[in-house]
Chain A
């Protein structure tokens, strides 16, 4: 995990970029990057509801990368008025994005469900908490999810 820098207040933020490697082989550590972003946004003084939306959306994405794609990378850009999260993996890709966006649709194995995830809520939850969501996916190559959350003035 690599943190580039932090600053004192949200008003001093000027295109702060953070990069994290998300390990695919340790489910217990899934969520560390989201937790770190949450802590950073708190330190910077962002509004609580924005922090929670960012944390949940990124956490769901991080969990997805771990359970479906053997990990990946997370890049987060923090501006005073916008948070951009990009999650990139080299997993199997999503065969039917429209279906994957439906609540309750899941391709996760029983083992993942036993861990409390894979109920077909991951992508719908991400959509619920973000202002924009773009999914670029290619079978056999991987998936790139870009989400943005606007910060109210």
Chain B
């Protein structure tokens, strides 16, 4: 699916970035950045309820294309500035983490791990 599909499925609002046609195949949902950094599986989308600049930096270190903030969390101006510098799309969804991850999974986005 594309980042635009992610936006549509999660009823999300794009906060910054315009690379919405990029294809994404894997995602990761966590508030612990070290857990995100522990498993490199070419995830392109990070879902998080954590709001600080390290979320954007972690996404950048992992070459991720999009960060979705759940429960309507608002990224700060500093985070938006950093995401624009890195070319990362930021969006926010009113959905909770479990629901957001479940919807994306049900629509074909996977976690990159074997089940």
Residues of chain A touching chain B, judged by Cβ–Cβ distance below 8 Å, are: 27-28, 30-31, 34-35, 38, 48, 52, 55-56, 59-60, 63, 113, 115-122, 124-125, 128-129
- 30 pairs of residues in contact across A and B, judged by CB atoms under 8 Å: A27-B54, A28-B54, A28-B78, A31-B54, A31-B61, A34-B61, A35-B57, A35-B61, A38-B60, A48-B63, A52-B40, A52-B61, A56-B37, A56-B40, A56-B61, A56-B62, A59-B58, A59-B61, A60-B37, A116-B34, A116-B48, A116-B54, A116-B58, A117-B34, A121-B34, A121-B38, A122-B34, A124-B38, A125-B38, A129-B40
Inter-chain contacts of B54 with A (CB < 8 A): 27-28, 30-31, 63, 115-117
Query: Would you give the shortest CB distance from A34 to chain B, in whole angstroms?
Result: 7
Say how far B51's CB is from chain A's closest CB, in angstroms: 10
Q: Report how far A123 CA is from B24 CA in the complex, Å.
A: 30
CB distance from B35 to the nearest CB of A (A): 6
Kindly state whether residue B50 has any CB partner on chain A within 8 Å. Answer: yes
Check A31/B57 contact, CB under 8 A, given A116-B33, A119-B35, A122-B34: yes
Q: How large is the interface on B (under 10, 10 to 19, 20 to 34, 35 or more residues)?
A: 20 to 34
> Given contacts A31-B61, A34-B61, A52-B63, are A116 and B38 in contact (CB under 8 A)?
no
A119 near B34: Cβ-Cβ < 8 Å: yes
With known contacts A115-B54, A116-B54, A116-B55, A125–B61 Cβ distance under 8 A: no
A102: shortest Cβ distance to chain B, in Å?
13
Residues of chain B from 49 to 77 with CB closer than 8 A to chain A in the complex: 50, 52-55, 57-58, 60-63
Question: Given the complex of chains A and B, what is the CA–CA distance between A95 and B103 in angstroms?
Answer: 45
Main DSSP-derived SS at the B contact region: helix
With both chains docked as a complex, state the minimum distance between the C-beta of B91 and any C-beta of chain A, in angstroms: 19
Q: How far is the CA of A55 from the CA of B57 in the complex (A)?
A: 10
Inter-chain contact B40/A117, CB cutoff 8 Å: no
Are B52 and A125 in contact (CB-based, < 8 A)?
A: no
Tell me whether B23 is interfacial, beta carbon within 8 Å: no
A52 / chain B contacts, CB cutoff of 8 Å: 40, 61-63
Known: A116-B52, A120-B34. 9 other contacts (CB 8 A): A30-B54, A52-B40, A55-B61, A56-B37, A116-B31, A116-B33, A116-B54, A119-B32, A121-B32
In Å, the complex CA distance between A17 and B38 comes to 27
